[in-house]
């Protein structure tokens, strides 16, 4: 099997690339910290008491871990949803889950102005409140999707309802925006731009554990996912309980996206673009290869986007969504033109 040996060497290479990008994420930033210091901070933290420690441990490290984890979570969700809905343009946003997270955050942030309590006065509470609000909003939409999918049974109907829910929720958010003050509006817009830097080290590690667990669980679905490439009827005919598999996978990806979005805000294009990159790179549609392949590519791309967003050497940084979109959109266009396979 030439293909699988080829894949293993790619996977190893990409793992090293991810490691290199991870280290680069610790190294580069608006301040350059030299190698020795980073090493010291990471492995002998008791010896150092400096700004370097603060920068690396409470800022760059959680950010890099979050980028890594989010890259894995979103790309894998995108892959699963594209196969599940048999639609190359499906991604984490199609189920309306990120819109749900936005609604949760909008309700908390924007209504704080209406009810005259100042979130901004409690920064730590603020962070946690927003995570909880985003998660609750995402779960709310996910619950609706699950109820609907149990009733209608047709996965394309679920897809359309998810997209429509997203629109409805966005409409609600825009009403809230309309009635809110500019300070809250600014805070909300900032959240909407997405960021890997809103997590503590503990939160980022939790996110990484979630990502790894999600990866492990999705791997067990490689076989039914492969079968679904031939459509629901063929999958059924080889003994796969299609409807329950669909529901489990919607729940699983929904939870993953909800958790990811809660910590980072909506991140555009990663989930949509990475599975296409993985297919183009590994030249296969078999999920036993695509699942690890997509995860490792997603990790690489998220770390790379984060590195670019940090604008090493400059005092400013770009919103991560701008970078993922600027990289993701051309990737999609390139994939479409190169293989001309987005067909309906």
Q: Given the rule CB under 8 A, which residues bind another protein? A: 86, 220, 222-223, 226-227, 229-231, 233-234, 236-241, 279, 283-288, 339, 341, 343
Q: Which of 255, 278, 337 is nearest to 82 (CA)?
A: 278
Residue 11 or 59: which CB sits closer to another protein?
A: 11
Measured from the CB atom, is 6 or 284 closer to another protein? 284
CB atoms within 10 A of CB 248: 14
CB of 291 to another protein, least distance (A): 10
Taking residue 193's Cβ as centre, other Cβ atoms within 10 Å add up to: 15
Burial class (CB in 10 A: 0-12, 13-18, 19+), 244: exposed
**Taking the CA of residue 158 as centre, how many other CA atoms within 13 Å lie in the half-sphere pointing to its CB?**
30
CB of residue 28 vs another protein: minimum separation in angstroms? 36
Give the shortest CB-93-to-another protein separation in angstroms. 22
Query: How far apart, in whole angstroms, are the C-alpha atoms of residue 141 and residue 168?
Result: 11
Residue 146: closest CA among 257, 241, 249:
249
Beta carbon nearer to another protein, 120 or 237: 237
For residue 246, the minimal CB distance to another protein (Å) is 14
Which three-class secondary structure state does DSSP give residue 181? coil
CB of 327 to another protein, least distance (A): 22
Q: Give whichever of 10 and 27 is closer to another protein, judged by the CB atom.
A: 10
| CB count in 10 Å sphere of residue 341 | 11
Nearer CB in complex with another protein: 150/230: 230
């Amino acid at each position: 099997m030439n293909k699988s040996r080829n894949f293993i060497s790619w996977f190893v290479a990409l793992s090293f690339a991810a490691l290199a990008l991870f280290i680069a994420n610790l190294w580069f930033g608006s301040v350059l910290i030299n190698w020795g210091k980073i090493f010291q901070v990471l492995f002998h933290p008791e010896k150092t008491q400096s700004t370097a420690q603060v920068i690396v441990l409470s800022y760059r490290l959680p950010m890099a871990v979050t980028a890594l984890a989010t890259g894995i979570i979103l790309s894998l969700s995108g892959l699963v949803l594209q196969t599940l809905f048999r639609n190359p343009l499906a991604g984490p946003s199609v189920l309306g889950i990120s819109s749900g997270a936005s609604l949760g955050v909008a309700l908390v942030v924007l209504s704080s102005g209406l009810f005259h309590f100042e979130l901004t006065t409690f920064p730590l509470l603020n962070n946690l409140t927003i995570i909880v609000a985003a998660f609750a909003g995402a779960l709310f939409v996910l619950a609706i999707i699950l109820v609907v999918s149990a009733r209608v049974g047709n996965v394309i109907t679920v897809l359309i309802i998810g997209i429509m829910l997203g629109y409805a929720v966005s409409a609600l958010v825009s009403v809230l925006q309309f009635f809110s003050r500019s300070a809250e509006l600014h805070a909300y817009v900032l959240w909407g731009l997405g960021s890997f830097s809103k997590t503590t080290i503990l939160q980022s590690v939790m996110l990484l554990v979630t990502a790894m667990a999600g990866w492990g669980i999705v791997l067990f679905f490689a076989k039914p996912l492969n079968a679904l490439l031939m459509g629901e009827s063929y999958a059924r005919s080889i003994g796969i309980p299609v409807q329950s598999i669909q529901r489990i996978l919607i729940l699983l990806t929904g939870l993953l996206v909800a958790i990811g979005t809660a910590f980072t805000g909506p991140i555009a294009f990663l989930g949509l673009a990475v599975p296409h990159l993985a297919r183009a790179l590994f030249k296969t549609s078999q999920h036993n290869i695509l699942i690890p392949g997509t995860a490792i590519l997603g990790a690489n791309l998220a770390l790379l986007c984060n590195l670019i967003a940090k604008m090493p050497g400059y005092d400013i940084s770009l919103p991560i969504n701008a970078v993922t979109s600027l990289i993701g959109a051309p990737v999609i266009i390139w994939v479409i033109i190169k293989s001309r396979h987005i067909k309906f």
